[in-house]
């Protein structure tokens, strides 16, 4: 029976098990052999001779004890249970064996199995035996500490953490840097901060100790203390990039400008700091300071000319700044350097060629975009280029034959075809395209919303309202459906109180959307509150200088007698978008 059990184990017991068993056997090798155990003594002696040098290499003095039947049974039970995936039985068997044997190797194995079995208390008991039987083991010390922290027993962990710090004098700074990672699972952030402060107190001259306090303070949402400590870390170690970056990260919660100023100051003293310059450049992008950001990335590129991530960032910023030739050069360099995301590069090269009206070249780049994130959009852009070349029928046919793997992609192709027709002033045909799409996908909110917008252009207000109400029923948090419904009523000066309710709902759902803010101003103007309307319209135009928002703002300014400013708003918008129908009609009404 025992033979059958053992033969079912898929792999032999670990080597350390043979060593431990042999070590125990060697202590009783001179005892009489039990009746019926013929041949056992020579095997045991051979095992003992093999184990002796290994035990000597192990380091700590191992306990001497008899290999009893019970102990051997527990060894086999634990190991077979492990092999068969019964982790709880294995963990308990090893824990009992560790308790009885006080052998560090068994205790270590018991700890590992206890952790694997998700029995942290069992693992902790075994780890303590491991540390007691092998007190010089750094690994045993770290394991006991980690288990106590995982159980959120900070006070119990404190003396062990002090031992960890005391034992790692040469690497104490690194240990402090790892401290908050060890403590991350603690739920009581204030208690964690207190613990880190106690541990750091004897090491006031160590920058990493102050940095650890800063991290714990930030985690406890005590940003003032975090700033104080990270600044002390930077004072002790002025060239430390990590301290500068972390201070900027804390400052960014208050102000992008303050964070950028900190990084800029560091770069003044240490201009070769790559990580700080990279983060400074990204921060400038967040601030929409694109020329400055590109300058920083270009400086990085001078030092790391083949860094594809930096090269890609410079390319994208060049596109943002409409430096098309520069962007194209950077993107082609990326292809030469075998950049990992070649499809994105090809897609952007297609956009650049299209922007410069090099249509055949644009189509060539779009065709090279293979399966992935940009594939469908590349298909749509090809159709748009066909249309720009005057082949609307070919563009529509291309979209209808484009491959779509799901309903979301089918909707995107339908909307793309409708947009081509809209741009060609074929609103009625665009309406029919979306209508046919709704026959197959009647609950799709994207199609319903576009259907409503096209219905408005055709003066089909009944369809506009019913479609938008259906969108709201299907998706009650669709801010733009509420806004479109409210704005359409306000623009026609109908049911203004109801229009205001719709727009207020939209504003609650999306409070920073410039178009919804514009609608709020417009409905207030229609309700006879021009002063209040002006506040919303100024805010909307500051957020997005769109020509239709400019039309509304100018009209309200004109109504309030501020005609010079109204003229300026209209003229500025007209310079940028000379063909906008709403803007042109508004100006003509007041300046015939």
Q: 43-52, pLDDT tens digit by residue?
A: 333 333 333 3
Q: Residue 116: pLDDT above 80? A: yes
Task: Tell me which of 67 and 263 has the higher pLDDT.
Answer: 263
Q: 47-77, pLDDT tens digit by residue?
A: 333 333 333 344 556 666 566 677 777 778 7
Q: What is d(CA 47, CA 483) in angstroms, rounded to the nearest whole number?
A: 84
Q: What is d(CA 377, CA 391) in angstroms, rounded to the nearest whole number?
A: 19
Q: What is d(CA 87, CA 129) in angstroms, rounded to the nearest whole number?
A: 20
Q: Residue 309: pLDDT above 80? A: yes
Q: Residue 532: pLDDT above 50? A: yes
Burial of 224 (0-12, 13-18, 19+ CB in 10 A): exposed
Q: Residue 298: pLDDT above 80? A: yes
CATH of domain 508-592: 1.25.40.10
Q: Residue 39: pLDDT above 70? A: no
Q: Which CATH number fits domain 1-151: 1.25.40, 1.10.540, 1.10.390, 1.20.1630?
A: 1.25.40
Q: What is d(CA 229, CA 235) in angstroms, rounded to the nearest whole number?
A: 10
Q: What is the pTM of this model?
A: 0.69
Structure confidence at residue 539 (pLDDT) = 97
Q: Residue 9: pLDDT above 60? A: no
- Whether the CB-CB separation of 544 and 515 falls below 8 Å is answered with yes
Of residues 307, 311, 273, 308, the one with CA closest to residue 294: 311
305-335: burial string, b at 16+ Cβ within 10 Å, e else: eebbebbbbbbbbbbeeebeebbbebbebbe
Structure confidence at residue 62 (pLDDT) = 62
Q: Residue 504: pLDDT above 90? A: yes
Across 135-139, 330-334, 432-436, least confident range: 135-139
Residue 504 has a CB neighbour count (10 Å cut-off) of: 16
Structure confidence at residue 144 (pLDDT) = 86
Structure confidence at residue 66 (pLDDT) = 62
Structure confidence at residue 591 (pLDDT) = 83
Kindly state the average pLDDT of the residues 481-498: 95
Q: What is d(CA 144, CA 317) in angstroms, rounded to the nearest whole number?
A: 50
Q: What does pLDDT average to over the chain? A: 86
Which segments of the chain belong to CATH 1.25.40.10?
508-592
Kindly state the average pLDDT of the residues 344-355: 97
- The interaxial angle of helices 15-26 and 40-58, nearest 10 deg, is 110
């Amino acid at each position: 029976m025992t033979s059958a059990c053992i033969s079912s184990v898929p792999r032999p017991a670990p080597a350390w098990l043979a060593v431990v068993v042999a070590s125990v056997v060697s202590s009783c090798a001179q005892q009489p052999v039990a009746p019926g155990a013929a041949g056992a003594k020579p095997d045991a002696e051979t095992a003992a001779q093999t184990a002796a040098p290994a035990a000597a290499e192990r380091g700590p003095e191992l306990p001497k004890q008899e290999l009893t039947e019970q102990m051997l049974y527990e060894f086999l039970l634990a190991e077979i249970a492990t092999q068969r995936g019964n982790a709880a039985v294995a963990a308990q068997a090893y824990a009992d064996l560790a308790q009885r044997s006080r052998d560090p190797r068994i205790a270590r194995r018991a700890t590992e199995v206890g952790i694997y079995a998700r029995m942290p208390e069992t693992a902790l008991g075994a780890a303590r035996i491991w540390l007691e039987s092998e007190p010089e083991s750094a690994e045993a010390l770290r394991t006991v500490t980690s288990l106590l922290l995982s159980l959120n027993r900070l006070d119990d962990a404190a003396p062990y953490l002090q031992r960890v710090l005391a034992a790692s004098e040469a690497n104490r700074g690194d240990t402090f840097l790892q401290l908050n990672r060890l403590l991350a699972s603690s739920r009581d952030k204030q208690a964690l901060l207190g613990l880190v402060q106690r541990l750091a107190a004897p090491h006031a001259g160590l920058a990493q100790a102050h940095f650890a306090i800063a991290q714990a303070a930030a985690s406890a949402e005590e940003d003032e203390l975090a700033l104080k400590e990270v600044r002390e870390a930077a004072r002790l170690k002025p060239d430390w990039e990590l301290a500068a970056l972390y201070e900027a990260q804390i400052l960014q919660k208050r102000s992008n400008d303050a964070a950028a100023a900190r990084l800029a100051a560091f770069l003044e003293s240490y201009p070769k700091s790559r990580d700080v310059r990279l983060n400074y450049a990204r921060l400038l992008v967040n601030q929409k300071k694109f020329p400055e950001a590109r300058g920083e990335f270009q400086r990085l590129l001078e030092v790391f000319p083949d860094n594809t991530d930096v090269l890609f960032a410079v390319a994208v910023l060049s596109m943002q700044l409409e430096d098309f030739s520069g962007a194209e050069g950077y993107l082609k360099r990326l292809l030469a350097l075998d950049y990992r995301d070649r499809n994105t590069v090809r897609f952007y090269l297609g956009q650049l060629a299209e922007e410069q009206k090099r249509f055949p070249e644009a189509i060539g780049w779009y065709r090279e975009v293979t399966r992935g994130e940009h594939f469908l959009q590349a298909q749509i852009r090809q159709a748009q280029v066909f249309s720009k070349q005057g082949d609307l029928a070919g563009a529509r046919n291309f979209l209808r034959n484009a491959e779509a793997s799901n309903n979301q992609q089918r909707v995107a192709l339908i909307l793309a075809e409708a947009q081509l027709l809209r741009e060609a002033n074929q609103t009625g045909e665009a309406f029919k395209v979306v209508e046919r799409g709704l026959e197959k996908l009647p609950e799709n909110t994207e199609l319903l919303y576009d259907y409503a917008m096209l219905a408005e252009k055709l003066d089909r207000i009944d369809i506009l309202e019913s479609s938008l109400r259906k969108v709201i029923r299907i998706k009650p948090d669709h801010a733009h459906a509420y806004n479109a419904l409210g704005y359409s009523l306000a623009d026609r000066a109908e049911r203004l109180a109801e229009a205001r309710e719709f727009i207020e709902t939209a504003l609650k759902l999306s409070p920073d959307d410039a178009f919804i803010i514009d609608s709020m101003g417009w409905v207030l103007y229609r309700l006879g509150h021009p002063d209040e309307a002006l506040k919303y319209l100024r805010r909307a135009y500051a957020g997005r200088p769109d020509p239709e928002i400019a039309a509304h703002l100018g009209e309200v300014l004109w109504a309030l007698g501020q005609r010079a400013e109204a003229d300026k708003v209209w003229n500025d918008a007209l310079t940028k978008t000379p063909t906008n129908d709403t803007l042109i009609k508004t100006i003509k009404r007041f300046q015939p």
